[in-house]
Amino acid sequence: MSGTVVVGAGLAAAHVVQTLRDEGDTGPITLVGEEPDRPYERPPLSKGYLQGASPRDDVFVHDTGWYDDHDVTTRFGTVAVALDRAARTVTLSDGDTLSYDHVVLATGSRPRTLDIPGARLDGVRTLRTLTDSDALRADLVAGRRLVVVGGGWIGLEVAAAARLAGLDVTVLEYAAQPLLRVLGPQVAAFFADLHRRHGVDLRTGVGVEGFEGTSGRVIGVRAGGTVIPADLVLVGVGAAPNVALARAAGLAADDRGVAVDEHLRTADPAVLAAGDVALAHHATLGHALRVEHWDNAIRQGALAARSILGRPDVYDWQPYFYTDQYDLGMEYVGHADSDDEVIVRGDPAGGEVVVFWLRDGIVRAAMNVNVWDVNDRLRALVGRTVARERLADPAIPLEEL
């Protein structure tokens, strides 16, 4: 029995199998996942679920019985340890071997860690899985001291959740501003001010030298020549794609991801990659791009399935992500660089703004902050040339730009 094997039971994988079934594939499908749980969405792990605002069942992509009902064989709690492209087989950690006509590598990414003294102390955590979120959620107890290492999206979302739970929070960021590489200095300052207004001790330009502990438990973080007391530490310094399976199989893969074309196929047309692990050629931008966000996992999962089914669809959509921090909600669409020109529409002090990133007069990305039901309009502007003064003028409706 061959058919399709999907390795990695995350969000992208769930949408591979769902799209195959929705679009008429009746062949065998096997879904292999290292975690014991069925596929779930990761954004709530640092947002609503971590805060206790949403129940556990809400994070799952499908109901418990969906996979049986759609004739999808699941091998949760099992690791794919080898991919033999000549034999078209996947070997699992329990010794079983699965044959395939197509295999989709949706192996995701893993949190980067710090190779510094004390990194293995109890209480030094990362956040990637539902189990991680459960453990962190139990530790967010009012009055405790949390130190977050890294001012990226995960770090800032956890900082917000912890402040809402009544913890004392310090964020340590190596760069001059949090989110500097993603948003540039002007917009990054907006998020820095947001956290400081909510009582976060945000320290920038600071390197972490090590963690202090007693009886195997973290009690402090050495940074900037001082020791910051800590009952809990969250290390949020980015994620690395899980490419080991692909590399061992002789596919083009490195620290940037598994190389695939605009149809998400590797150089071996029977092997595809989707989601966090895919370094995919973007048909519109004209270069390879790896995107770790929720929207991309859903879309690439569906695209991988359609490529298996012989459809002509390509990777051509604009990247999209969102965040919720305190009373701020934000959506971002496009792909800009931190040195692009920034146009702000509205008053940041009022908390409701739209931001555009331009290069050579062309809109490369846009972001709406506490301004709702406009993201589709912003998406339509990406790639267009629009006069700067019109972008900045809130009196001109977005649909008229």
What's the pLDDT tens digit per position in 331-382?
Answer: 999 999 889 999 999 988 888 999 999 999 999 999 999 999 999 999 999 9
CA 118 to chain CA centroid, Å, is 27
Question: Which pLDDT belongs to residue 264?
Answer: 98
Rounded to two decimals, the pTM is 0.95
Tokens of 100: 């395939």
Q: How far apart, in whole angstroms, are the C-alpha atoms of residue 245 and residue 91?
A: 11
Q: What are 2-61's pLDDT values in tens digits?
A: 899 999 999 999 999 999 999 999 999 999 999 999 999 999 999 999 999 999 999 999
For the domain made up of 113-235, the CATH class stated in words is: alpha beta
pLDDT in tens, 220-252: 999 988 999 999 999 999 999 999 999 999 999
Do domains 113-235 and 327-400 share one topology? The answer is no
Q: What is the pLDDT of residue 314?
A: 98
Residue 1: its pLDDT value, please? 65
Domain limits of the chain?
4-110+239-308, 113-235, 327-400
The string of pLDDT tens digits covering residues 142-198 is 999 999 999 999 999 999 999 999 999 999 999 999 999 989 998 999 999 999 999
What pLDDT is stored for residue 138 in this prediction?
96
pLDDT grade, residue 397 (50/70/90)? very high
CATH class of 327-400: alpha beta
How is domain 4-110+239-308 classified at the architecture level of CATH? Answer: 3-Layer(bba) Sandwich (3.50)
Give the three-class secondary structure for 261: coil
* Residue 23 CA: distances (Å) to CA of 20, 92, 249, 306, 309: 5, 28, 30, 8, 9
Given this model, what pLDDT does residue 275 score? 97
List phi, psi (to 5°) of 362.
-100, 135
